[in-house]
């Protein structure tokens, strides 16, 4: 099987999804090529080099999120040349810009089946900046394009059940063509968090402090401003640790100053060693305004942290799937600072409850959200779209 992966939004979880999927498919014998941009996150070029070293053919194409007819037409022609030169079985596009360009060109000049993963819809963040701080553009045009492209898409893969429901409500794909393949991680690196004491000392967090932490890009999507706003409603010994970088760094510092909690806010920047970050936290919080399925939430649950999340796509799948499965975290309404503070206070006041939630997370992630399950399930969708039986590449 020959597969072409196309992505413009190579930041955060989408960047990680592409990398893990490309390596996983190649490891299962698929011939994988990748067309991607690296404008939003220059470190994506490190991933591209690693892919090339693994035998994956990679093409850098400087696609941008913003709609630009001339530039988009040129990038579409570049994609068409790549598609026309090779006999791909599957064209898998990711997020809105690559989804539009890739599926359009695939329909015109390739016999490959078209598979798309939205990684959240533009309609999810109406009124706010998109991933990476960029405005989504003309929302009406984007959603009309999504619905039109859905007519020529053989399979649409959602990364969570919530995202699938949202896609159906938006009418972007026929129900029988929609599939759910949850994001997955390798839980092993998060199984034994360690090094938190050194990180606390580095950041000046007192030994006796209780720490609420979050991991993610510092942008509008992740809602860290809501956590800062909740901090005055938490006990004075509670500190907030944010791991990540982004355009809202200075704004969060100003917000903390205005609220009088600046000494209790710690912006640690991006850290590759997340084990120490988790070890420095007592509770993990995901205050996002929108998600597909948060990798940071999976990692925190795998690390055995009690979690509090906004009710965004993917969070219920992880924290409280229902049935006989016990919860491993609490959920609160989106953008509700009072509810967020109340849930955090609940776990701070009742450590036994927090411990009970924390014990569930590692097993749940290992059983339901492993990267191997994600790759195998994606490969099964490809074979289904191709009319093949079995799961071989």
Residues 152 and 273 in one domain: no
What pLDDT score does 143 carry? 86
Query: Which of the 8 DSSP states describes residue 191?
Result: S
237, 378: one domain: no
Same domain, 50 and 159: yes
- Based on the domain organization, do 306 and 216 belong to the same domain? yes
Kindly state whether residues 207 and 285 are assigned to the same domain: yes
- State both tokens at 183: 């994001």
Task: Tell me what pLDDT residue 125 has.
Answer: 53
Same domain, 125 and 27: yes
> pLDDT tens digits, residue range 234-286?
999 999 999 999 999 999 999 999 999 999 999 999 998 899 999 999 999 99
According to the model, what pLDDT value does residue 387 have?
A: 94
Is residue 209 domain-shared with residue 352, that is, in the same domain? yes
Query: Domain range spanning residue 10?
Result: 2-184+370-385
How much is the pLDDT for 113?
Answer: 97
Reading the block at residue 244, the tokens are 């990540």
Per run of 10 residues, the mean pLDDT along the chain (length 393 residues) is 96 94 97 95 94 96 91 95 91 95 95 96 59 59 91 97 94 96 96 92 96 96 97 98 96 98 97 93 96 96 97 94 91 97 98 96 96 97 90 72
Q: Exposure pattern of 339-359 as b/e (b: 16+ CB <10 Å)?
A: bbbebbeebbeeeeebeebbe
What does the pLDDT read at residue 126?
Answer: 45
How many domains are contained in the chain? Answer: 2
Same domain for 115 and 35: yes
Look at residue 127 in the predicted model and tell me its pLDDT.
43
Report CA-CA distances (Å) from 353 to 187, 280, 364: 23, 19, 17
Q: What is the pLDDT of residue 279?
A: 96
Q: Checking DSSP bridges between strand 178-180 and strand 113-117, what pairing results, if any? A: unpaired
For the domain that residue 115 is a member of, what is the CATH number? 3.40.50.2000
- What CA–CA distance (Å, rounded) separates 316 from 324? 14
Do residues 297 and 195 both lie within one domain? yes
């Amino acid at each position: 099987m020959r597969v072409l992966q196309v992505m413009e939004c190579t930041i955060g979880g989408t960047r990680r999804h592409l990398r893990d999927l490309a390596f996983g498919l190649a490891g299962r014998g698929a011939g994988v090529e990748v067309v991607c941009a690296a404008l939003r996150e220059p470190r994506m070029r490190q991933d591209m080099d690693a892919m090339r070293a693994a035998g994956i053919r990679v093409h850098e194409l400087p696609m941008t999120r913003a709609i630009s007819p001339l530039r988009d037409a040129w990038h579409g022609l570049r994609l068409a040349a790549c598609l026309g030169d090779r006999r791909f079985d599957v064209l898998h596009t990711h997020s809105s810009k690559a989804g539009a360009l890739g599926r359009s060109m695939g329909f015109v000049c390739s016999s490959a089946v078209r598979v798309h993963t939205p990684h959240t819809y533009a309609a999810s963040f109406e009124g706010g900046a998109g991933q990476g701080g960029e405005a989504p553009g003309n929302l009406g045009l984007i959603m009309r394009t999504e619905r039109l492209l859905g007519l020529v898409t053989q399979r649409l893969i959602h990364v969570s059940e919530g995202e699938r429901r949202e896609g159906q409500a938006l009418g972007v794909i026929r129900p029988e063509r929609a599939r759910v393949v949850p994001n997955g991680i390798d839980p092993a690196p998060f199984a034994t968090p360690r090094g938190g004491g050194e990180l606390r000392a580095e950041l000046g967090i007192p030994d006796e402090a209780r720490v609420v932490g979050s991991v993610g890009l510092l942008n509008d999507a992740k809602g860290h401003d809501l956590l800062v706003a909740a901090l005055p409603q938490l006990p004075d010994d509670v500190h907030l640790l944010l791991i990540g970088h982004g355009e809202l760094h200075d704004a969060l510092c100003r917000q903390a100053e205005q609220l009088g909690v600046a000494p209790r806010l710690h912006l640690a920047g991006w850290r590759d060693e997340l084990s120490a970050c988790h070890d420095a936290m007592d509770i993990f919080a995901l205050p996002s305004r929108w998600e597909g399925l948060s990798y940071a939430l999976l990692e925190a649950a795998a690390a055995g942290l009690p979690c509090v999340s906004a009710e965004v796509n993917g969070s219920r799948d992880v924290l409280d799937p229902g049935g006989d499965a016990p919860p491993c975290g609490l959920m609160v309404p989106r953008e509700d600072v009072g509810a967020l503070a109340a849930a955090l206070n609940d776990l701070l006041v009742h450590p036994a409850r927090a411990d009970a939630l924390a014990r569930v997370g590692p097993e749940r992630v290992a059983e339901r959200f492993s990267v191997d399950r994600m790759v195998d399930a994606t490969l099964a969708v490809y074979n289904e779209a191709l009319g093949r039986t079995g799961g071989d590449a």
